[in-house]
Amino acid sequence: MNAVGRLLSRHLQDLTPGKLTWIGLRPERKAAMKMVEQVQAIKDLGLEGDRRCISTPGSARQVTLINQEHIEVIASLMGLDSIDPDLLRRNLVVTGINLIALRHQRFRIGEAEFEATAHCHPCLRMEQALGKGAVGAMLGHGGICAKIVTSGTICIGDSVIKI
């Protein structure tokens, strides 16, 4: 492990738990997001009812997460009062914990365990959803991708805990 990895590993243990505030599923490609109060996270597949659960089994991008705090930054950079989470097409919105610090780490939400795999970079569809400049506004604020390590139910209000 390199010096940065050792430093992060030591300090990540002190992360304050966050909270899951929104869950959205994409039933099929380009379909509108469907907001739900709870969902079953299925190991190695994704969230039950989300298109990625069927179309990309074993993918490192089974679930996408974004910080509410970053949604607010994106809105500010776009000159908007707020942004509805479904426009960003991420599955989970959390608050109170730095998702970027969880990259390559394991964390728990409700009964399920996840492993953060990569940054979730914005795509050109964000320009269609939010307007010109959206990709630039989202760079560094697009959230993370994760895979599901242990199945379980997750619900709005569940804690997000680094393990």
List pLDDT tens digits, range 6-24.
555 555 566 789 999 999 9
Q: For residues 121 and 69, give the distance between their C-alpha atoms in angstroms, rounded to a whole number.
A: 16
Q: What is residue 10's predicted lDDT score, i.e. its pLDDT?
A: 56
pLDDT at residue 69 is higher than 80: yes
CATH number, residue 154? 2.40.33.20
Q: Are 152 and 110 in contact (CB under 8 A)?
A: yes
Q: What is residue 160's predicted lDDT score, i.e. its pLDDT?
A: 97
Range of the domain at 130: 3-162
The pairing of beta strand 38-42 with beta strand 152-155? antiparallel
What is the percent of the chain with per-residue pLDDT over 70, rounded to a whole number? 90
Nearest Cα to Cα of residue 92 among 145, 153, 161, 150: 145
In tens, the pLDDT along 91-115 reads 999 999 999 889 889 999 999 999 9
Task: Report how many domains make up the chain.
Answer: 1
The answer, as to whether pTM is greater than 0.85, is yes
Q: In sequence order, what are the residues at sequence separation of 6 or more whose Cβ sits closer than 8 angstroms to the Cβ of residue 147?
A: 44, 59, 60, 61, 62, 63, 114, 115, 117
